[in-house]
Structure 1
Amino acid sequence: MKKDGMKRIHLFLLLVVTAVFIWSAIKPASYLTWMLEVSPAVVGLIIVIAAYNKFRFTTLSYVIMAILAIIMFVGGHYIYSKVPLFDWIKDAYDLKRNHYDRFGHLLKGLFAIVLREILLRKTRLTKGPWLFTIVISMSLAIAALYEIIEWLASKIPKGGKTTKDFLGTQGDIWDTQWDMLCCLLGSIVALWIFSKLHNRLLQKEGIKE
């Protein structure tokens, strides 16, 4: 794929993410909760855009970043525990909770491909068991860090409904463990399914491993 073609795809992804972000910011369920939920994605996107000319990821990595950003923007707009489609699924299948957060954490496992790319390009690691192990460990560490941030937010004095919505445990005392497990499983599946495609794109898009 020519560089101009890749740039057009990357620009399209950015426009889609920007459109969803604008929609997300219009009358969210709670502006404070919205800010807490979307800020990691916004900061990440700013860093990726600023570094675009110096460190350009594969299109696969940009697609993954776009998907994850959209997931966070949708969750921030409605609040994760109240996303309409998953409320419908909850009612239709008589589930005990809205599972959008579980779905989101599972998809966050896709970020393992982005981590894989950074390690392949910026360290001496090569493809193999050690790369797989370190990527999985990093992915799980990020998931754990996010849960710690949520816990710290819950300790804010007079946080009230905002911190409760941000935590989104929905009464499940094992919510933190479930979230980390979903991310772990998502990372393993992502590496299993997309590693070969990722390798081809690294070569096809002219990126040295």
Structure 2
Amino acid sequence: MRKRVYSKTHLFLFLTVIAVLIWSAIKPASYLTWVLEVSPAVVGLIIVIATYHRFRLTTLSYVIIAILAIIMFIGGHYVYSKVPLFNWMKETFHFQRNHYDRFGHLLKGLFAIVLREILLRKTPLTKGGWLFTIIISMSLAIAALYEIIEWLVGAAAKQVKAVKDFLGTQGDRWDTQWDMLFCLIGSILALLVFSKLHDKSLKKLR
């Protein structure tokens, strides 16, 4: 039987994410909001753990997944519209809203690198314009799906405060469009900035 080997770096990332998850579950602003916010990240982590030996990703992809999970756990603990650091920025720079939500959607664009890895390793696609276009399209589709889920949850429980916190529009009727735009910008930047580093990481898998 082949011995299962775990990367120390991957184990460190896993333990860090679990530690933040446990912290986020301790006296969050609202347990219902917490469940709504962290559930996608927890499901994603379960998938990553279940497929670790069958389809091990690059360390870069695991770092990105860890960052995105932590972003969601922090948002779930405080509620996105009330994250302390961004409240301080709001008051100091006289912003009209807490921008943690915008920041989170921008960083979600990093997931484009994970999508890039899956497509390069599991499909006949090669580097070039089509790969870039398909990744951006997939990133936007995921962003749109998330916003649709938020809309459905909001429509099902309009009067529940925790659900309003989950939506986090902060009175902006264009919040959904802004979220998708920031995810688009983040995806483009991620591909432009990290593709070469990602290529080096992919070579190490061979």
Asked if these proteins are the same fold (TM beyond 0.5), I'd say: yes
Matched, 1:101 2:86: no
Look up the SS of the partner of 1:155 in the other structure: helix
- Once residues 157 and 47 of structure 1 are traced to their aligned partners in structure 2, the CA distance between those partners, rounded to angstroms, is 29
- Once residues 88 and 144 of structure 2 are traced to their aligned partners in structure 1, the CA distance between those partners, rounded to angstroms, is 29
- Once residues 132 and 110 of structure 1 are traced to their aligned partners in structure 2, the CA distance between those partners, rounded to angstroms, is 13
* Cα drift, residue 162 of structure 1: 1.4
- Once residues 158 and 136 of structure 1 are traced to their aligned partners in structure 2, the CA distance between those partners, rounded to angstroms, is 32
* Cα drift, residue 105 of structure 1: 0.1
* Cα distance change of structure 1 residues 143 and 10 upon mapping to structure 2, 3 Å threshold: same
* Cα distance change of structure 1 residues 174 and 125 upon mapping to structure 2, 3 Å threshold: same
Identity %: 75
* Cα drift, residue 205 of structure 1: 3.0
- Once residues 187 and 42 of structure 1 are traced to their aligned partners in structure 2, the CA distance between those partners, rounded to angstroms, is 22
Matched, 1:46 2:46: yes
Q: Which runs of no fewer than 5 residues in structure 2 stay unpaired? A: none
Question: Which consecutive segments of 4 or more residues in structure 1 shift more than 4 A?
Answer: none
Q: Give the TM-score of the pair, scaled to structure 2.
A: 0.96
Task: Within 5 Å, give how 1:188-207 maps onto structure 2.
Answer: 188-206=188-206
* Cα drift, residue 158 of structure 1: 5.6
* Cα drift, residue 93 of structure 1: 0.2
- Once residues 84 and 152 of structure 1 are traced to their aligned partners in structure 2, the CA distance between those partners, rounded to angstroms, is 28
Residue matched to 1:115: 115
Residue matched to 1:71: 71
- Once residues 160 and 48 of structure 1 are traced to their aligned partners in structure 2, the CA distance between those partners, rounded to angstroms, is 32
RMSD of aligned Cα (Å) = 1.2
* Cα drift, residue 159 of structure 1: 4.4
Residue matched to 1:30: 30
Q: Give the TM-score of the pair, scaled to structure 1.
A: 0.95
- Once residues 198 and 128 of structure 2 are traced to their aligned partners in structure 1, the CA distance between those partners, rounded to angstroms, is 14
